[in-house]
Every structure is written in C-alpha cells, then in structure tokens.
Amino acid sequence: MRHDQAGPDLPLADELSAISARVSGLLLSEETVATALGLVSSMALDSVPGAVGAGVSILDERGRRSSGSTDARVERADALQYELDQGPCLAAAASRRLVRVDDLTTDRRWPRWAAAAAPLGLLAAMSAPLVAGDTALGALKVYAAQPGSFDARSEHLLTLAAAQAAILVANAQTRERARRHSDELRAAVRSRDLVSTAKGVVMARHGVPEDVAFTMLVSRSHEEGGTLADVARAVVESAVRRRR
C-alpha cells in the first residue's frame, strides 16, 4: 500500500524488521540482479513518503548504469549524472554517505546536472549508498516532484532500505557470478571432450600419435583463424558424415 503522507514514527526495530522481511522474501525468490533491482526500487518508492520515482545506480567494473528504474524520468535523470559526471547518486556512492537535494533549482553542488534534470519535473532527490563489506555497489535513490519533499525520517527510511538492498544486490550478484562460472565450466568441459574426440578421429584417420594429432588440430585452428573447439567440432562432424 502506498503512503503519500508520513505516518507516525515507528521504533527502529519495527521499521527495520518490516523492510528486512520484504527483502528476505525477495532474496529467496529472485534469481537475477535485474529483477531484484526492480523490486528494490519498488520497495523504495513505496516506503519513502513523497517519492514519485526510484531506481538503483550500479557502479562496477562494467561502468555506470541504472537498473530497476520505476519510470523513464528516473532513467533520464540518472543518465544525466553519468554523462555529466556529477550528481547525488555518484556522490553518495563515492562518499558512502546519504546525499539529499531539497531543491534542484537552488542547490549549487552539481549545477550542470541540476539544470539538466530540473525540466524533467523531478525537483528533489535523495540517494543512499549500497555498501556490502568494503565494496560500494552503487546507490539507491528516490526522486520527488516537489521541493522539500524529504526530511530526516525519509533519510532514515531510505538508509534502512539501502542497507537491506545492498545485501540483496550483493547476494544476487554472487549468484549470477556463480551461474556464469558454472556455465563457463560446463562449456570448458564440453570443449575438452570435443577436442579429445577430434584427436581420436585424427589419430585414426592419419595414423599419428596423440601429441601429433593435437598439434595438427592446433595448426589448423591457426590457419583457419578459428578456435580449437571450432576445428574439433568440424573434424567430429566430418567423421559423422563419413559414417552415414
């Protein structure tokens, strides 16, 4: 249920347990980073009074990018930060501290970004860093249509959400890396088996020992400009066709 007006303050334990319960459910049921980030953004949009848009900025070895944005305005406001190399999300991730912009039209910290983003109708912003261990993963942010929409309680709620979101994102990324590693390992095993089969074909076809057969496959891959696996596949497929 969406809350547009700030309700009475809840004890810290109650707020944290409510957000933790929601994140725990996501952690158990979602398998991809992109899907998880979309759910994180929706959670932030629901949790922070006054927010009209939310999203996550990811900063890693692949660069800067947004994921899970709740609408196109959020995506554009974020893109402007990356293009201009300034803005609250980048500052929050770099400093590992929450950054709040009460009014884009008067804030002077990131003038080029503010001037470019204000016409989008997003006139207030707040970004909380996503930090897991010693790693800054990015920032969870919310935008508002009216200046002065966020306050200390909004900061508190976004900080709690970001802390839980960081755990979610870190675990989701770990699962993704594990899946990719598993896929790569299976591919490597298949490639090795394919090369072994191709060596057997070459040995039988040309009456050469194993090391010579392997050298012949490598030489052919160099000549044709393909991979060893590609050459091995071609040799095996040729042997299959000959049997038919």
pLDDT tens-digit map of 2-24: 444 444 445 544 655 665 666 56
Whether the pLDDT of residue 78 is over 90: the answer is yes
Query: What is the C-alpha separation between 87 and 207, in angstroms, rounded?
Result: 68
pLDDT higher than 80, residue 29: no
| Domain 12-178, CATH | 3.30.450.40
**154-164: pLDDT as tens digits:** 999 899 888 87
Condensed to tens digits (0 to 9), the pLDDT of residues 155-189 reads 998 998 888 778 777 777 677 667 777 776 777 77
Q: For position 1, what pLDDT does the model report? A: 42
What would the two tokens of residue 142 be?
A: 């919310």
3-class SS at 42? helix
Output the pLDDT for position 14: 63
CA angle 157, 77, 83 (to 5 degrees): 125
Average pLDDT of span 59-73: 89
Quick one: average pLDDT of 128-133? 91
CATH classification of 180-243, choosing from 3.40.50.300, 1.10.10.10, 3.40.50.11540, 2.60.40.10? 1.10.10.10
Q: How far apart are CA 65 and CA 161, in angstroms?
A: 20
Its pTM stands at: 0.67
Residue partners of 234: CB distance under 8 A and separation at least 6: none
Number of H-type helices and E-type strands within the chain: 8, 5
Task: Indicate the DSSP class of residue 10.
Answer: P
b/e 154-163 (16+ beta carbons within 10 angstroms → b): bbebbbbbbb
For 207, phi then psi, to 5°, come to 65, 40
Domain with CATH 3.30.450.40 in the chain: 12-178
Q: Say how many residues make up the chain.
A: 244
By DSSP bridging, strand 63-67 and strand 99-101 are unpaired
